[in-house]
Amino acid sequence: MIAGMQVDRDAEVLAGECVQHWRVVVVEDEEFTRSLLTQTLTSVGIEVRSAPSASEGMALIDQFNPHVVMTDLDLGVGPSGIHLLNKVHAQAPWIGKVVLTAHASPSLATTDPSALPDGVVYVVKADVTSAEQLFEAIRSSLTNEGDHVVRDAEDRIVLSAAHGETLRLMGMGLSNAGIAEARGTTLRAAEGMVQRVFLALGLRSDAHYNMRVLAVKMLQQGRIVIR
Print pLDDT tens along the chain (227 aa): 565 555 444 444 444 444 457 889 999 999 999 999 999 888 888 899 999 999 999 998 888 888 899 999 888 888 888 889 988 888 887 788 998 888 776 666 656 545 777 778 888 888 887 788 888 888 878 765 444 567 777 888 888 787 889 999 999 999 999 998 998 877 877 887 888 788 778 787 777 889 899 999 999 999 999 87
The pLDDT score that the predictor gives to residue 154 is 84
Cβ–Cβ under 8 Å, residues 199 and 142: yes
pTM for the complete prediction? 0.60
The pLDDT score that the predictor gives to residue 167 is 94
Query: How far apart, in whole angstroms, are the C-alpha atoms of residue 10 and residue 131?
Result: 6
Closest CA to 42 of 141, 137, 131, 140: 131
Distance of CA 141 to the CA centre of its chain: 4
Query: How far apart, in whole angstroms, are the C-alpha atoms of residue 149 and residue 48?
Result: 27
Q: Where do the domains of the chain lie, and which CATH numbers do they carry?
A: 2-141 (3.40.50.2300), 157-226 (1.10.10.10)
The pLDDT score that the predictor gives to residue 78 is 83
